[in-house]
């Protein structure tokens, strides 16, 4: 008797678990599917859409590409995010190396700096940055975004990399030093190659943070041809809000790149995100 | 392997970015197909040396900034195409934004020194643009050749009075807009009603409509439309007293159209009268529920679903509105007047171009401004469903729709003054309160005025 | 001896060189602007191209005593912190526990649940705005089909509900993200502990309650911190879904700040708001980490 009850409870438990998971899946994926369907729906039928595209058509995509500069947004986002990531990796790995291996005062100071940059939202420096960038004549150049993004990411990346570098056995470096390598060579030939996973995590974390950023991107670069994806989409929303079928096509086009990268590099993605969060 | 590919891609793009990033400011002079982008209308620069412009045939690109592209994309595309056909060496780069982001975009550009060659003057930015000295004095261009350009405007050079500072004209009027009453012809025929022209008529008609389970008027509140509409009616107050100095009062240092900190809604007799009329309207309960939260699309969908008999909106939306619901026979009429129960006598708000003071291609920008304000462009506008009216003489209005024709029959010199001030600070501040008033939130005119004062005070906390 | 000393100096020089780029960037593009924000908030800067004089703490006084919208924004931020943090220390934990057991399906569900986090917030906002659209949005259409008329409501126009809809969208976006953190934490719990407990006679539920959840403490700490910061960074959702909401009721600090800048050009006032925002975030973070979770920072050794 008891065994049967236990078995029933177990089955109910399992059904319950699966139900929750299925409902959650629907919840998390439905909005995207809805937008996807909407992008294939005709203008007349858009008001009745629930799941399956009514009167399927691809004119929305054609119009979206023709009327807005969606495809050039890709290029700009790649440039900005790519340059930011590279710059962050270079600058922060160098700084991390110094903090990991060298003794000099300022370590605690450095710690509080990191704390600041992690916590303080970018909007706190927004207005002066606008003034500064204008004075440096960087507005409407890619640097207007690359420099602020890099600056905000560097402290955290440095922290992660420093912790990682510390786990590299000092003996290897001592051996190299005896062989006559200077600091830079040690850094370049030994430390970096051993840190591939940490560098990968930093890459993912940084790229994800800035690929989707909107506030700076929409204000520091206003030239339509140079805007990144979020800024461009913001503009497209403002221009085409009356035409949701076209807008949804634009939205889908905009979210595809990151989606593909995510699907292809899943494992690295999640590892990078977790590493970033936990170390912080 | 995957990682290597990613690295390679990143490096390649960084390199390309370096090459394009450094020179990106100069990229503006490379040609771009205008059909792809939303065009922005920039101010037009008027330059004196038109002869020089014709001789130099090296390719030039001018940028034009506007917020109006989305309203009339076909028209804009056509005008630019036709302009480029006329001047093959000039390419127009249109920088279009939505109305909400235009102010932000243009401000950033002015501060960075990258404002377009031809700048669309958004009324609420007029003071800012004036003070930042980014606008060029257009008087020489207007008056050369015996006022050739100036005379091509209905009303002559006075058409641009709104943009006059001291003795110079810093902007030229391009087109004129108005608020409209859109009505469902079927409903009106069915109930044998006539489109209202005054407040009392509006209330009467609404009573009949309500008896038949229609929402008399749909109005949106979130995008400031109700404000535009209702604030614009202040100009109706100027109707009769048009030459009586009331307009000067409105525009004076302590008037409603000024951005003065000392201005007080509740002490302005013009506003008090306006509030009383609005209150009458509000009490008749003729609007859809929840104006405060209805945006344009919500109000329009009520109209298109056949639930609302009238839609009060701006003429800048007409093309989009007509395209969105061809099944309903839509009539367009002049708005109701708020003054002494007489039909409206005047209306008009202008959009205009100014020319960038530090433009690299002022002559070409000027050419664009001249072309855009010409009768040729005006006819193109009507043909392509463009803005209501252009200010150029010689526009063939015989094919204009009923609204345009009615508009043309108004006798007040509508272009000579910006009768709306709809983008003035006071109108923006009153936006929410007006929507609330029409929603029936206030028990008396005094409460409404107090709310207006409150909004004013809140705003000026920041100054 | 001399050789050593110079060598040490040389090494130190290298260290400074290595740090230099980071330091320069940090000072120029972060510390200096941060200080500038603070400075500007005391100056008189509105409408003009640069500040014009000293204003003292007038901005702050105005903000706290007279500014009604500021109060609404502040209240909304705190309301959201409460709702979001509460939801993110329960729902994702629950999901993580569910997925902790299953091996095969875990990757699939993790993939789906995490996905909303990689979509740009602007896009998320546009998607959800139309879902809640009256008459023609997804929810309204559901209402029509299922004959549940109450679903056809002006959700985003209801002053009381609108902010919670924003919360809902945030939950949609972030639950997967936090779940992944919890999951990683759970998976790092050594099997021996749970096995020992089961051997001792504990059933599943007790294992969860007494072992796993307490061991989740670090990630709950992290999630709370991250979520609090995220709420104060909230901007795009407000702009694109409610634009401040039915009469200012969904204003949040960031949104109000930018509004002041773009309509009105009240720069110093906006800087004052920024300063207050920064202080709140820093103080809250310290409170969360030190007081609630008693986290001791590891100093350099």
Q: How does pLDDT run across C43-89, given as a tens digit for each residue? A: 988 877 778 888 889 999 999 999 999 999 999 999 999 999 999 99
Of residues A122 and B33, more confidence is placed in A122
Distance CA B310, CA B299 (A): 10
B128 shares a domain with B214: no
Distance CA B398, CA A143 (A): 53
Mean pLDDT confidence for B272-285:
88
Phi, psi of B92 (to 5 degrees): -100, 125
- Least Cα distance to B463 among C44, C52, A213, C142 occurs for C44
Distance CA B331, CA B404 (A): 12
Mean pLDDT confidence for A79-93:
94
Lowest mean pLDDT among A81-90, A131-140, B14-23, B211-220: B14-23
Residue A130 scores a pLDDT above 70 = yes
Please say whether the beta carbons of C244 and C238 come within 8 A. yes
- Least Cα distance to A238 among B310, B296, B286, B400 occurs for B296
Distance CA B113, CA C176 (A): 44
Q: What is the span of the domain harbouring residue B224?
A: 179-347+419-460
B332 to each of B139, B178, B312, how far by Cα in Å? 37, 11, 10
**Count of all residues that appear for chain C in the document:** 301
Predicted local confidence at residue B37, as pLDDT = 24
B103 shares a domain with B48: yes
**What percent of chain C stands above pLDDT 70?**
92
Instruction: Please check whether residue C209 lies inside any domain of the structure.
Output: yes
Instruction: Please check whether residue C4 lies inside any domain of the structure.
Output: no
Phi, psi of B333 (to 5 degrees): -130, 165
Q: What is the span of the domain harbouring residue C97?
A: 66-292
Predicted local confidence at residue B12, as pLDDT = 56
Round the average pLDDT of chain C to a whole number and report it.
Answer: 86
B341 shares a domain with B440: yes
Residue B202 scores a pLDDT above 60 = yes
- Least Cα distance to A217 among C236, B128, B113 occurs for C236
B450 membership: H or E segment, kind and range: helix B445-460
Contact A98 C282 (CB under 8 A): no
A229 shares a domain with A164: yes
The model's confidence at residue B33, banded by pLDDT at 50, 70 and 90, is very low
Q: Which of B38, B305, B328 to mutate to test the interface with A (most CBs of A within 10 A)?
A: B38
Nearest-Cα distance to chain A for C67, in Å, is: 20
Q: Which of C96, C114, C118 to mutate to test the interface with A (most CBs of A within 10 A)?
A: C118
Mean pLDDT confidence for B83-104:
82
Predicted local confidence at residue B342, as pLDDT = 73
**Count of all residues that appear for chain B in the document:** 463
Contact C265 B292 (CB under 8 A): no
Domain boundary (A25, A42, A57) is at A57
Predicted local confidence at residue C300, as pLDDT = 34
B161 shares a domain with B41: yes
The model's confidence at residue A259, banded by pLDDT at 50, 70 and 90, is very high
Contact C266 B463 (CB under 8 A): yes
Domain boundary (A22, A37, A57) is at A57
Q: Chain C residues with CB inside 8 Å of A274's CB? A: 180-181, 184
B337 shares a domain with B292: yes
Q: Chain C residues with CB inside 8 Å of B436's CB? A: 247
Predicted local confidence at residue B353, as pLDDT = 80
Domain boundary (B357, B392, B427) is at B392
Nearest-Cα distance to chain C for A223, in Å, is: 18
Contact A49 C138 (CB under 8 A): yes
Query: Into how many domains does chain C fold?
Result: 1
Instruction: Please check whether residue B20 lies inside any domain of the structure.
Output: no
A144 shares a domain with A100: yes
Contact B461 C62 (CB under 8 A): yes
- Least Cα distance to A215 among A133, A123, A134 occurs for A123
CATH number at residue A140: 1.10.3720.10
Predicted local confidence at residue B340, as pLDDT = 67
A–B CB contacts, 8 A cutoff, strictly below: 112
DSSP type of residue B135: B
Of residues A194 and C229, more confidence is placed in C229
Nearest-Cα distance to chain A for B416, in Å, is: 30
Q: Which of C115, C138, C271 sits opposite A50 (nearest CB)?
A: C138
Predicted local confidence at residue B35, as pLDDT = 24
- Least Cα distance to B266 among B73, B449, B143, B85 occurs for B449
Mean pLDDT confidence for B161-187:
81
Instruction: Please check whether residue B9 lies inside any domain of the structure.
Output: no
Q: Chain A residues with CB inside 8 Å of C49's CB? A: none
B267 shares a domain with B223: yes
What does the DSSP assignment read for chain C?
A: -HHHHHHHHHHHHHHHHHHHHHHHHHIIIIIHHHHHHHHHTTB--SSSSS--SB-TTHHHHHHHHT-HHHHHHHHHHHHHHHHHHHHHTTHHHHHHHHHHH-SHHHHHHHHHHHGGGGS-HHHHHHHHHHHT-TTTSHHHHHHHHHT-GGGSS-GGG-TTTHHHHHHHHHHHHHHHHHHHHHHHHHHTS-HHHHHHHHHTT--HHHIIIIIIHHHTHHHHHHHHHHHHHHHHH--HHIIIIITT-GGGTT--HHHHHHHHHHSS--HHHHHHHHHHHHHHHHHHHHIIIIIIS-PPPPPP-
Instruction: Please check whether residue B412 lies inside any domain of the structure.
Output: no
Round the average pLDDT of chain A to a whole number and report it.
Answer: 85
The model's confidence at residue B157, banded by pLDDT at 50, 70 and 90, is confident
Is ipTM beyond 0.95? no
Q: What is the span of the domain harbouring residue A149?
A: 63-279
Residue A124 scores a pLDDT above 80 = yes
Instruction: Please check whether residue C20 lies inside any domain of the structure.
Output: no
Lowest mean pLDDT among B391-395, B413-417, C43-47, C166-170: B413-417
B427 touches C: beta carbon within 8 Å: no
Parallel/antiparallel/unpaired status of strands B90-96 and B349-355? unpaired
CATH number at residue C253: 1.10.3720.10
Residue that the structure tokens 């909004």 belong to:
B455
Of residues C258 and A111, more confidence is placed in C258
CATH number at residue B353: 3.40.190.10
Query: Into how many domains does chain B fold?
Result: 2
Nearest-Cα distance to chain B for A6, in Å, is: 48
Predicted local confidence at residue B26, as pLDDT = 33
Q: Chain B residues with CB inside 8 Å of A263's CB? A: none
Mean pLDDT confidence for C136-161:
84
A209 shares a domain with A156: yes
Of residues B24 and B96, more confidence is placed in B96
> Which pair of tokens denotes residue C293?
């979770």
Instruction: Please check whether residue C10 lies inside any domain of the structure.
Output: no
Of residues A277 and B94, more confidence is placed in B94
Instruction: Please check whether residue B327 lies inside any domain of the structure.
Output: yes
Residue A71 scores a pLDDT above 50 = yes
Bridge partner list, B94 = B64
Domain boundary (A57, A86, A101) is at A57
Q: Which of B17, B25, B38 sits opposite A239 (nearest CB)?
A: B38
Distance CA C278, CA C36 (A): 13
The model's confidence at residue C224, banded by pLDDT at 50, 70 and 90, is very high
Predicted local confidence at residue C148, as pLDDT = 83
The model's confidence at residue B386, banded by pLDDT at 50, 70 and 90, is low
Mean pLDDT confidence for B240-269:
72
Q: Which of B32, B37, B108 sits opposite A219 (nearest CB)?
A: B108
Query: Into how many domains does chain A fold?
Result: 2
A249 shares a domain with A202: yes
Lowest mean pLDDT among A104-108, A174-178, B258-262, C248-252: A104-108
- Each residue's pLDDT tens digit, A203-253: 988 999 999 999 999 889 887 888 999 999 988 887 777 778 889 999 999
Instruction: Please check whether residue C35 lies inside any domain of the structure.
Output: no
- Each residue's pLDDT tens digit, A14-44: 888 889 999 999 999 999 999 999 999 887 7
Q: Which chains touch A (3 or more CB pairs under 8 A)?
A: B, C
Of residues B114 and A38, more confidence is placed in A38
B303 shares a domain with B260: yes
B37 shares a domain with B167: yes
Lowest mean pLDDT among A52-61, B102-111, B214-223, B438-447: B102-111
B436 touches C: beta carbon within 8 Å: yes
B343 shares a domain with B355: no
Q: Chain B residues with CB inside 8 Å of A218's CB? A: 101
Q: Chain C residues with CB inside 8 Å of B435's CB? A: 247
Closest residue in chain B to residue A71, using alpha carbons only: B36
What does the DSSP assignment read for chain A?
A: -HHHHHHHHHHHHHHHHHHHHHHHHHHHHHHHHHHHHHHTS-TTGGGG-SSSPSS--SHHHHHHHHHS-HHHHHHHHHHHHHHHHHHHHHHHHHHHHHHHH---S-HHHHHHHHHHHHHS-GGGGHHHHHHHHHHTT-TTSTHHHHHHHHHHHHHHHHHHHHHHHHTS-HHHHHHHHHTT--HHHHIIIIIHHHTHHHHHHHHHHHHHHHHT--HHHHHH---GGG--HHHHHHHHHHHHTT-HHHHHHHHHHHHHHHHHHHHHTHHHHHHHHHHHHHH-
Which of A125-134, A234-243, B315-324, C77-86 is modeled with the greatest confidence? C77-86
Bridge partner list, B120 = B353
Bridge partner list, B243 = none
Instruction: Please check whether residue C237 lies inside any domain of the structure.
Output: yes
**What percent of chain A stands above pLDDT 70?**
94
Nearest-Cα distance to chain C for B463, in Å, is: 6
Q: Chain C residues with CB inside 8 Å of A230's CB? A: 120-123, 236
C64 touches B: beta carbon within 8 Å: no
Q: Which of A79, A140, A200 sits opposite B17 (nearest CB)?
A: A79
Instruction: Please check whether residue B254 lies inside any domain of the structure.
Output: yes
Instruction: Please check whether residue B172 lies inside any domain of the structure.
Output: yes
Instruction: Please check whether residue B28 lies inside any domain of the structure.
Output: no
A140 shares a domain with A85: yes
Phi, psi of C201 (to 5 degrees): 105, 5
The model's confidence at residue B30, banded by pLDDT at 50, 70 and 90, is very low
The model's confidence at residue B50, banded by pLDDT at 50, 70 and 90, is very low
B165 shares a domain with B134: yes
A68 shares a domain with A27: no
Round the average pLDDT of chain B to a whole number and report it.
Answer: 74
Instruction: Please check whether residue B25 lies inside any domain of the structure.
Output: no
- Each residue's pLDDT tens digit, C94-138: 999 888 877 778 889 999 999 999 999 999 999 999 898 877 788
Distance CA B53, CA B249 (A): 43
């Amino acid at each position: 008797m008891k065994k049967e009850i236990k078995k029933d409870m177990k089955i109910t438990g399992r059904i319950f678990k699966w139900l929750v998971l299925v409902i959650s899946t629907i919840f998390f994926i439905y909005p995207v599917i809805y937008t996807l369907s909407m992008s294939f729906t005709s203008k007349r039928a858009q008001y009745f859409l629930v799941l399956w595209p009514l009167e399927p058509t691809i004119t929305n995509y054609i119009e979206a590409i023709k009327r807005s500069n969606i495809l050039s947004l890709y290029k700009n986002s790649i440039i900005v995010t790519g340059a930011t990531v590279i710059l962050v990796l270079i600058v922060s790995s160098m700084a991390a190396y110094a903090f990991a291996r060298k003794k000099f005062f300022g370590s605690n100071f450095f710690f509080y700096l990191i704390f600041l940059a992690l916590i303080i939202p970018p909007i706190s420096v927004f207005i002066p940055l606008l003034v500064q960038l204008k004075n440096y004549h960087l507005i409407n150049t890619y640097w207007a975004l690359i420099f602020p993004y890099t600056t905000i990411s560097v402290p955290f990346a440095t922290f992660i990399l420093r912790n990682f570098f510390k786990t590299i056995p000092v003996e290897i470096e001592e051996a190299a030093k005896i062989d006559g390598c200077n600091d830079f060579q040690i850094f370049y030939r030994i430390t970096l190659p051993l840190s591939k996973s940490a560098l990968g995590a930093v890459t993912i974390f940084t790229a994800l943070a800035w690929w989707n950023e909107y506030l700076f991107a929409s204000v520091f670069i206003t030239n339509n041809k140079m805007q990144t994806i979020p800024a461009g989409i913001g503009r497209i929303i403002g221009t085409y809000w009356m035409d949701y079928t076209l807008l949804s096509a634009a939205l889908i086009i905009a979210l595809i790149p990151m989606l593909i990268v995510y699907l292809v590099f899943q494992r690295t993605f999640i590892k990078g995100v977790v590493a970033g969060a936990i170390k912080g | 392997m995957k990682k290597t590919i990613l690295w390679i891609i990143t490096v390649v793009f960084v390199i390309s970015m370096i090459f394009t990033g450094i020179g990106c400011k100069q990229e503006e002079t490379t040609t771009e197909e205008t059909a792809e982008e939303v065009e922005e209308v920039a101010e037009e620069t008027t330059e004196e040396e038109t002869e020089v412009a014709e001789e130099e045939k090296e390719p030039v690109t001018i940028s034009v900034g506007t917020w109006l592209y989305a309203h009339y994309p076909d028209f804009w595309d056509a005008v630019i195409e036709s302009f480029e056909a006329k001047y093959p060496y000039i390419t127009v780069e249109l920088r279009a934004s939505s109305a909400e982001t235009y102010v932000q975009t243009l401000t950033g550009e002015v501060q960075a020194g990258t404002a377009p060659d031809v700048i669309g003057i958004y009324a609420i930015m007029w003071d800012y643009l004036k003070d930042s000295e980014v606008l060029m004095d257009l008087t020489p261009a207007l008056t050369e050749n015996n006022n050739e350009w100036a005379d091509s405007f209905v009303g002559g050079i006075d058409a641009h009075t709104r943009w006059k500072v001291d003795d110079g004209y810093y902007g030229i009027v391009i087109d004129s807009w108005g608020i409209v009453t859109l009505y469902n012809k079927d409903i009106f025929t069915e109930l044998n009603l006539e489109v209202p022209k005054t407040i009392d008529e509006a209330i009467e008609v609404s009573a009949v409509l309500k008896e038949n389970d229609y929402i008399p008027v749909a109005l949106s509140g979130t995008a400031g439309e109700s404000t535009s509409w209702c604030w614009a009616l202040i100009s109706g107050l100027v109707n009769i007293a048009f030459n009586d100095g009331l307009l000067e009062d409105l525009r004076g240092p302590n008037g409603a159209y000024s951005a003065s900190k000392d201005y007080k809604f509740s002490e302005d007799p013009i506003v008090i009268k306006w509030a009383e009329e609005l209150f009458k309207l509000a009490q008749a309960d003729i609007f859809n529920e929840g104006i405060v939260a209805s945006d344009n699309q919500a109000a329009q969908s009520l109209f298109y679903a056949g639930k609302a008999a009238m839609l009060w909106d701006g003429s800048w939306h007409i093309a989009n509105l007509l395209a969105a619901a061809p099944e309903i026979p839509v009539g367009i009429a002049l708005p109701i007047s708020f003054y002494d129960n007489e039909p409206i006598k005047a209306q008009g708000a202008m959009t205009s171009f100014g020319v960038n003071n530090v433009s690299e291609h002022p002559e070409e920008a000027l050419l664009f401004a001249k072309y855009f304000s010409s009768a040729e462009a005006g006819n193109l506008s009507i043909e392509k469903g463009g803005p209501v009216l252009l200010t150029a003489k010689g526009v063939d209005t015989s094919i204009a729709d009923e609204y345009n024709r009615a508009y043309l029959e108004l006798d007040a010199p509508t272009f000579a003054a910006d009768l709306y001030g709809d983008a003035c600070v006071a109108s923006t501040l009153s936006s929410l309160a007006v929507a609330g008033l029409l929603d029936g939130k206030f028990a008396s005119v005094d409460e409404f005025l107090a709310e207006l004062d409150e909004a004013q005070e809140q705003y000026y906390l920041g100054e | 001896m001399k050789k050593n000393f110079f060598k040490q100096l040389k090494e130190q020089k290298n260290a400074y060189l290595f740090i230099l780029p980071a330091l320069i960037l940090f000072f120029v593009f972060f510390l200096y602007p941060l200080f500038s924000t603070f400075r500007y908030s005391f100056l008189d800067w509105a409408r003009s191209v640069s500040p014009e004089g000293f204003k003292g703490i007038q901005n702050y006084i105005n903000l706290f005593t007279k500014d009604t919208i500021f109060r609404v924004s502040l209240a909304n931020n705190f309301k959201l912190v409460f709702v979001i943090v509460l939801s993110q220390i329960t729902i994702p934990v629950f999901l993580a526990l569910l997925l902790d057991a299953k091996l095969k399906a875990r990757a699939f569900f993790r993939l789906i649940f995490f996905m909303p986090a990689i979509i740009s917030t602007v896009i998320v906002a546009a998607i959800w705005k139309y879902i809640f659209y009256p008459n023609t949005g997804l929810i309204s259409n559901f209402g029509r089909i299922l004959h549940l008329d109450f679903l056809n409501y002006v959700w985003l126009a209801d002053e009381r509900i609108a902010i919670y809809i924003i919360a809902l969208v945030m939950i949609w976006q972030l639950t997967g993200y936090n779940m992944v953190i919890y999951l990683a934490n759970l998976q790092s719990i050594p099997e021996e502990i749970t096995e020992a407990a089961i051997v001792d006679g504990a059933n599943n539920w007790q294992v969860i309650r007494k072992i796993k959840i307490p061991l989740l403490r670090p990630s709950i700490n992290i999630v709370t911190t991250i979520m609090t910061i995220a709420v104060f960074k909230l901007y795009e959702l407000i702009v694109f879904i409610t634009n401040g909401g039915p009469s200012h009721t969904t204003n949040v600090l960031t949104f109000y700040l930018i509004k002041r800048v773009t309509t009105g050009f009240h720069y110093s006032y906006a800087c004052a708001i920024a300063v207050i925002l920064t202080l709140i975030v820093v103080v809250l973070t310290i409170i969360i980490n030190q007081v609630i979770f008693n986290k001791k920072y590891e100093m350099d050794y």
